[in-house]
Amino acid sequence: MRNNEWRGHLRLSHGWACYEGPAGDTSFHAHYPCQLVFARTDEASVQLEDRECRGRQLFIPSNLSHMLDQNEEPLTLLYIEPTLLDQDIDKEWSLSAWLSFLKHAEPKVEDERMISAMANIEAALNKKVSLQAVAAASGLSKSSFTALFRKTFGMPLRRYVLWRRLYLAVQAIGRGADATTAAHTAGFSDSAHFSRTMKTNFGVSPTESVLKITMSVQ
């Protein structure tokens, strides 16, 4: 294994993903999903901007800048979109308890305008996603939509769209597409845009990972 390379199995599902394998090098990055790190033997190590966290099980909140230290021992990483989580959920659950929960988890988005926005965004990912069009379809002004969207998802529309496009691009690679085809399938302008977005979100580019990717349906 090259020092910077990720080799493992990534399983994608609706609102969450599970990686199993060794951890390659990353740079500091932040992503929309919360992340859980499960070490099988030795402790895992995660660098935050102001401290280091070590343990057999670690929880990284949504949008928190961090860097996972390289580890050739297999790890399990769970990525979970915050809309699947209750505020009082037990973050100390075992891996099996988390996977059991995620099999039946549904997004906790109750505002019909935001549910409509999610559907409209998904339908437009392979072309330009317009803030004005999505807001109008939700029955809101741009300013009201922007405030409600950020409150619901914890990020602006543009970052959410990039996250959804990243998911679709990785999914396309799992079906056998190359990086350029995957980028265009997901609505990125080119493979360089896809690569930069993946690097920003996960600290690693598509060329720095050799993953077996599967899709599972809840």
State pLDDT tens for residues 184-216: 999 998 989 998 898 888 887 776 665 566 655
- The whole-number average pLDDT for the span 14-43 is 89
Q: For 82-109, b where at least 16 C-beta lie within 10 A, e where not — what string?
A: bbbbeeeeeeeeeeeebeebbeebeeee
For a pLDDT cut of 70, what percent of the chain falls above it? 92
| CA 133/CA 141 separation, integer angstroms | 10
Residue 211: per-residue pLDDT: 59
> Do the beta carbons of residue 206 and residue 195 sit within 8 Å?
yes
- 50 and 85: one domain? yes
Residues in a beta bridge with 36: 59, 78
* Helix H or strand E segment including 34: strand 34-39
Residue 213: per-residue pLDDT: 64
- 29 and 123: one domain? no
pLDDT class of 217 with cuts at 50, 70, 90: very low
For 74, the 3-state DSSP assignment is strand
- 84 and 187: one domain? yes
| Mean pLDDT for all residues in the chain | 88
* Helix H or strand E segment including 161: helix 157-174
- 135 and 86: one domain? no
Range of the domain at 196: 6-107+160-215
Q: Which of 203 and 183 is assigned the larger pLDDT?
A: 183
Residue 78: per-residue pLDDT: 95
- 47 and 149: one domain? no
For 77, the 3-state DSSP assignment is strand
- CATH number of the CATH domain containing 171: 2.60.120.10
| CA 166/CA 172 separation, integer angstroms | 10
- 133 and 166: one domain? no
Structural domain includes residue 183:
yes
- 34 and 138: one domain? no
* Helix H or strand E segment including 48: strand 44-48
- 141 and 51: one domain? no
Residue 170: per-residue pLDDT: 87
Domain count of the chain? 2
Nearest CA to 194 among 148, 149, 217, 162?
162
Entry pTM: 0.84
- 31 and 100: one domain? yes
pLDDT tens digits for 103-119? 889 888 999 999 999 99
| CA 101/CA 105 separation, integer angstroms | 6
